[in-house]
């Protein structure tokens, strides 16, 4: 098992080590990696792999042999002969689960839900959102064999963080992140400043100021405290 190997599906399908991105070669290897990553740790049967490698349904005559060739080329691209394991006609991606960005994203959101500290919560959500580089399984997202999984992976990103992490906070953090990237620096996120509760408190504060202002100025514009007219008379 290659400890430094990282698999990315939250965007274009990619693989990289700590030092560099790996060249996955042609579309067949990329499709094979995406299909195996979708069920990381589980054996994926040949029929499922055939749906991924030939979504049009036009299978070659020796399609099982073609899958073996694609698996061999993928092992070479990943620079790890043990990364793709053959199991009696099925194949399994044999890497550490934390190597997959989709699982890291889910794990960080779970940690955020369980975190009692709001600042740490926001940091965890931000780090989870940083895993995204585009749409999940980007180049294959509209194909039937992966379409459902691509939609499922995208739902938590849209604010479905559950319970303790509000969707408004997730959207606020995402907006701050986009702004920071455009301006070339990261802005510090203040948790809860975009929440409905915060907006209600802010509204009550502003209304209270307006009421106090009206009570200190008479109907003719004369200040109850100074006896001068509102509107700014000349200072003596």
User: Could you tell me the residue ranges of all domains in the chain?
Assistant: 6-98, 101-133+162-183
Instruction: Give the model's confidence band at 144: pLDDT under 50 very low, under 70 low, under 90 confident, else very high.
Output: confident
Q: Is the pLDDT of residue 227 over 50?
A: no
6-98: CATH topology is Arc Repressor Mutant, subunit A (1.10.10)
Burial of 81 (0-12, 13-18, 19+ CB in 10 A): exposed
Q: Is the pLDDT of residue 122 over 70?
A: yes
pTM of the model: 0.65
Query: Mean of the per-residue pLDDT values for the chain?
Result: 76
Q: Is the pLDDT of residue 40 over 60?
A: yes
């Amino acid at each position: 098992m290659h400890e430094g190997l990282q698999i990315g599906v939250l965007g274009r399908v990619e693989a990289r080590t700590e030092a560099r991105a790996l060249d996955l070669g042609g579309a067949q290897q990329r499709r094979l990696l995406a299909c195996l990553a979708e069920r990381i740790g589980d054996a994926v049967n040949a029929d499922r792999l055939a749906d991924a490698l030939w979504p049009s349904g036009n299978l070659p005559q020796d399609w099982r042999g073609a899958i073996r060739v694609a698996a061999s080329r993928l092992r070479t691209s990943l620079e790890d002969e043990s990364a793709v394991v053959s199991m009696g006609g099925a194949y399994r991606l044999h890497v550490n689960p934390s190597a997959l960005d989709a699982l890291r994203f889910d794990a960080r959101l779970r940690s955020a839900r369980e975190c009692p500290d709001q600042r740490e919560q926001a940091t965890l959500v931000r780090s989870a959102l940083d895993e995204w580089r585009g749409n999940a399984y980007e180049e294959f997202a509209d194909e039937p064999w992966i379409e459902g999984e691509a939609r499922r992976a995208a739902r938590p990103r849209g604010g479905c963080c559950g319970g303790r992490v509000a969707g408004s906070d997730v959207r606020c953090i995402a907006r701050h992140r986009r702004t920071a990237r455009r301006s070339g620096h990261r802005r510090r996120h203040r948790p809860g400043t975009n929440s409905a509760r915060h907006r209600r408190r802010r509204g009550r504060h502003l209304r209270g100021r307006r009421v106090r202002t009206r009570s200190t100025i008479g109907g003719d514009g004369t200040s109850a405290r100074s006896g001068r007219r509102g509107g700014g008379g000349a200072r003596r």
